[in-house]
Every structure is written in structure tokens, then in C-alpha cells.
């Protein structure tokens, strides 16, 4: 089979595209023929070694896949011909998704809802599950609570806005001016420009009773303004900015009983990922989880895809066609 892989950790130039053996599924695994793939920022972290995890070489890159079960172990829970998806490959010693065929443990494989196009789904598998876990498993939220999503124009940010709005939460968002329309279409009631020096004051006016969840997806992690805007007992989620260092106003946070929660979806258990998959599937079925596409490339262009990702400036997701 054709696959995109690395023989050692490094930059995008470490990525090769060539032939590897088709893996054989074990009793609790399924062999999936890939139909659609997506590039995630964590893929670059794993490939470069910034995010340390077992990577048996040659190591196939990639995390997300939508495809069809080609062969299934008796204990996998799946059958040949089912359309499925996974969003936790390429980590913890598991080979990645960027291949014509990939091996998926049954506990990390989910059925794609009937009528959902693979290309409409693949761009929200990682981002949507991250948003679902953050909102509904890591934060203590109730219907009507107020959430602030910084970096709402990005993949996880816009997925969080959509899922929060669908759950009846009041959503405030910050983004660049050119992303404001997109964020409003995702369900944000108030959208602020993060470059506006008056943004904290505008945020206070928009949420006079305080914010219940502060979730910065921009990677800047500027917490200086947060304490005065948070409600007592609020949660601050930290899920972005792998190289960022932030000044944390501990005194102002502890006196308001604020929880500061670090959260990486790669650490989520199989049970937690399955719960998140239910949320993602419900949203996909209701057409309430959308994304923007920046580029669609072939598997042979995987190195270029990572170069584009690391160059930054993209408005949307990079999708990969494994047949090209």
C-alpha cells in the first residue's frame, strides 16, 4: 500500500511517500480502506518530536480517517463494508492514518452516520471531539452558562462555538476581523477582535455577570484579563500553545475558586473518546458541525501539506485524498 511516513523525527522534509506492507488486523482490530484524511497540528508535533510519544519506524503520520472496513477481527465489533471513522491514530505506538489502509483498534473506531459525506466529516473529527471533551467533560457547565472562546476562527475554536451554541450555552468569541462572519455563522452571540485594545472592557460589557468557561484556542494564553471577567467557580481550559509560557495570576484565580485545567485529547481514554464521538456524530447528523477547507491535496503531497501547516496563515483545514 502507499503511505506517508517518516524514518526518524524531524521537519516536513522527513516525510516520505512510498510502499509499505498492508497490515493484518488482530482479533480486536479493523483494517480500514481510507477515503478521506485531514491534517492536524498535533500531527506536526508528533512528527517533529515536540510531542513525545512512541513512534515505531517507519512511522505512518496522521490521526484522522474516514473510510470503509476492509477486514475486521471477530472481536472488533465491526463488519466488512461499514463506513467508519477514527481520530486517535498516530499516537501511543499506533501507526497513523496517512495510507491507503490503516489498522484501527475497535474501541477507537466509530460508525459514520447514514447520509453523512466522508469529506464533510473528516475535517471535524479531531477538532469536534476536542471541543466536545473540553465543553462537556473537562468544564462544569450548565445550560445558559457563558463561555468565552478565544481563537474562535480556528478548527477547535469554531467547533467549540458550534457545539456550545447547540447545547444552549451563551457564546462569546474573539478572532481576527476577517473571521468575524464565520464565527457568527457558527453561533457566537458576541464576536470581538482580539487585536482591539478595548477587548477586555467590551468583554466585560457583554458578560456583566461573569464568564463560566475561558478557553483560549489562539495559543497566546494571555490570562491577565481573565480573573476580573470570570465568575466564581469558573474554569480556564488550556489546550493550545505547546511552546507558550504564560504568566498566571494565581492569587486572583484562587480567590475566585477558578479551576485551571490542562487538557490534551491525546490523553483521553477510549471511553472518553467514544463519548465525544457520540457528540460529533449527533452534530454531523444534524448538520451542526461545519468547517472551512483551505486546501485538498493528494497523499503524494503530504510533505507539502505539513509545510503549509507550519507556515501558518491558513483559513481552514487541509484535507488529504488517499487515492491521489
| 16 occurs within a structural domain | yes
Q: What is the pLDDT of residue 244?
A: 64
**What's 316's domain CATH number?**
3.90.180.10
| 66 occurs within a structural domain | yes
Distance CA 35, CA 68 (A): 7
Place of cell 484522522: 64
Whether residues 235 and 302 share a domain: the answer is no
**Summary count for the chain: helices (H), strands (E):** 10, 16
Q: What is the pLDDT of residue 164?
A: 98
How many C-beta atoms lie closer than 10 Å to residue 19's C-beta?
9
Write out the residue range of the structural domain in which residue 184 sits.
139-266
Whether residues 162 and 262 share a domain: the answer is yes
**pLDDT, tens digit (0-9, with 9 covering 90-100), for 82-97:** 999 999 999 999 999 9
Output DSSP code: residue 32: E
- Do residues 113 and 281 make contact, with C-beta atoms less than 8 angstroms apart? yes
**pLDDT, tens digit (0-9, with 9 covering 90-100), for 27-75:** 999 999 999 999 999 999 999 999 999 999 999 999 999 999 999 999 9
Q: What is the pLDDT of residue 243?
A: 65
Whether residues 152 and 73 share a domain: the answer is no
| 65 occurs within a structural domain | yes
**What's 218's domain CATH number?**
3.40.50.720
- Do residues 107 and 84 make contact, with C-beta atoms less than 8 angstroms apart? no
Distance CA 19, CA 1 (A): 5
| 195 occurs within a structural domain | yes
**Does 252 have pLDDT greater than 90?**
no
pTM, two decimals, is: 0.95
Q: What is the pLDDT of residue 240?
A: 73
How many C-beta atoms lie closer than 10 Å to residue 323's C-beta?
12
User: For residue 111, what are the β-bridge partners?
Assistant: 84
The total number of structural domains in the chain stands at 2
Amino acid at each position: 500500500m502507499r503511505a506517508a511516513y517518516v524514518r526518524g523525527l524531524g521537519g516536513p522534509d522527513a516525510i516520505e511517500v512510498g510502499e509499505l506492507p498492508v497490515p493484518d488486523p488482530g482479533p480486536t482490530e479493523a483494517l480500514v480502506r481510507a477515503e478521506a484524511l485531514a491534517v492536524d497540528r498535533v500531527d506536526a508535533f508528533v512528527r517533529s518530536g515536540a510531542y513525545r510519544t512512541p513512534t515505531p519506524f517507519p512511522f505512518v503520520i496522521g490521526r484522522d480517517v474516514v473510510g470503509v472496513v476492509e477486514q475486521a477481527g471477530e472481536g472488533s465489533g465491526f463488519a466488512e463494508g461499514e463506513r467508519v471513522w477514527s481520530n486517535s491514530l498516530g499516537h501511543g505506538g499506533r501507526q497513523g492514518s496517512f495510507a491507503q489502509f490503516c489498522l484501527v483498534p475497535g474501541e477507537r473506531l466509530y460508525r459514520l452516520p447514514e447520509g453523512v459525506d466522508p469529506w464533510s466529516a473528516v475535517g471535524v473529527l479531531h477538532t469536534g471531539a476536542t471541543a466536545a471533551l473540553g465543553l462537556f467533560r473537562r468544564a462544569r457547565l450548565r445550560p445558559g452558562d457563558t463561555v468565552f472562546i478565544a481563537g474562535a476562527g480556528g478548527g477547535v475554536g469554531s467547533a467549540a462555538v458550534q457545539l456550545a451554541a447547540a447545547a444552549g450555552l451563551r457564546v462569546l468569541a474573539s478572532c481576527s476581523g476577517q473571521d468575524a462572519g464565520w464565527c457568527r455563522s457558527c453561533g457566537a452571540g458576541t464576536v470581538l477582535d482580539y487585536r482591539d485594545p478595548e477587548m477586555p472592557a467590551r468583554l466585560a460589557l457583554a458578560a456583566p455577570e461573569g464568564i463560566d468557561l475561558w478557553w483560549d484556542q489562539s495559543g497566546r494564553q494571555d490570562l491577565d484579563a481573565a480573573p476580573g471577567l470570570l465568575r466564581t467557580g469558573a474554569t480556564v481550559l488550556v489546550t493550545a500553545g505547546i511552546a507558550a509560557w504564560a504568566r498566571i495570576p494565581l492569587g486572583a484565580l484562587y480567590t475566585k475558586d477558578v479551576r485551571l485545567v490542562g487538557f490534551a485529547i491525546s490523553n483521553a481514554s477510549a471511553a472518553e473518546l467514544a463519548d465525544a464521538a457520540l457528540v460529533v456524530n449527533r452534530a454531523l447528523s444534524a448538520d451542526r458541525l461545519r468547517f472551512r477547507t483551505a486546501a485538498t491535496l493528494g497523499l503524494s503531497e503530504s510533505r507539502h501539506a505539513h509545510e503549509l501547516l507550519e507556515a501558518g496563515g491558513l483559513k481552514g483545514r487541509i484535507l488529504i485524498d488517499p487515492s491521489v
